[in-house]
Amino acid sequence: MKKKLFLIIGAPGSGKTTDASIIAGRHMESIVHYSTGDMLREEVSSGSELGKTIDGFIAQGELVPLDIIMDTIISAIKNAPTDVVLIDGYPRSVEQMHALDKILDKEEEIELVSVIEVRVSEYVAKERILGRAAEAEVVRSDDSVEIFFDRMKIYTTPLEEIQTFYIKKDLLEVIDGERTLDLIVKEMEMFIVNKIWKPKIWCNVY
Ligand code: AMP
């Protein structure tokens, strides 16, 4: 079966990983979710040489190199146990967007269904990141004010070009990420479910 791919993008602190994991948790038999940040951090925890390389980038809030992130997401999609795959945290650069687009052109087994942008202001993103750091038992190496602004800049710099690219393909869906978790998840879940399962209604206008 063809894999149906949803990409979820959003600033650090937008809540994209939490939203997507709740939705996948509610539809475990049909939807799987991967966060690029979590997959990379797992590689770091494994203590591998690759993990050590990745750690250097994450700790500075920088993007890991293209070949590493491409291998990470493509193998996640191909090995996914379900047909519907949610990936959050990708693309984070114009280069990544074009690299995936090239793959999708050739790869008939993967269909990009939609790119969901969870939109929050920089103020809300910062408050959430700093709140997360204050509450966490183990603080993420990149959850500090200094690194936050670098991560935010890395997120916003290519954003307009990414939005324009997916708007032209009629794939971009923007969700207001400043509401309660419950409302955001409900809207995102309904959107995904409708895209996957909504029966096509043919309307005869004559
Ligand atoms: P996140 O958990 O989504 O905030 O990501 C944490 C860190 O993982 C980022 O600051 C980057 O260093 C790295 N990372 C996550 N996604 C990507 C990506 N698509 N491309 C390159 N690096 C990434």
Please tell me the predicted confidence (pLDDT) of residue 201: 56
Q: Is cis: bond before 91, omega within 30 of 0?
A: yes
pLDDT of residue 72 exceeding 70: yes
Q: Which residue's alpha carbon is at the smallest distance from atom 5 of ligand 1?
A: 37
93: DSSP letter: S
* CA 157 to centroid of chain Cα atoms: 17
Q: Which residue's alpha carbon is at the smallest distance from atom 2 of ligand 1?
A: 37
Give 15-84 as a 3 state SS string.
Answer: CHHHHHHHHHHHCCCCEEEEEHHHHHHHHHHCCCHHHHHHHHHHHCCCCCCHHHHHHHHHHHHHCCCCCE
Nearest of 10, 36, 12, 34 to residue 23 by alpha carbon = 34
pLDDT digits (tens, 9 = 90+) for 17-35: 999 999 999 999 999 999 9
Q: Which residues of 81-117 are buried (b: 16+ CB within 10 A; e: fewer)?
A: ebebbbbbbbbbbeebbebbeeeeeebeebebbbbbb
CATH class of 3-193: alpha beta
Q: How close is the Cα of 201 to the center of ligand 1, in Å?
A: 39
Query: Hey, what amino acid is at 142?
Result: D
Q: How close is the Cα of 203 to the center of ligand 1, in Å?
A: 44
pLDDT digits (tens, 9 = 90+) for 24-71: 999 999 999 999 999 999 999 999 999 999 999 998 889 999 999 999
- Please, what is the Cα angle at 197 between 195 and 202, to 5 degrees? 85
Domain locations in the chain?
3-193
pLDDT digits (tens, 9 = 90+) for 178-197: 999 999 999 999 999 999 98
Ligand 1 lining (C-beta closer than 6 Å):
12, 36-37, 40, 57-58, 61-64, 69, 89-90, 92, 96, 142, 151
SS3 168: helix
pTM above 0.75, yes or no: yes
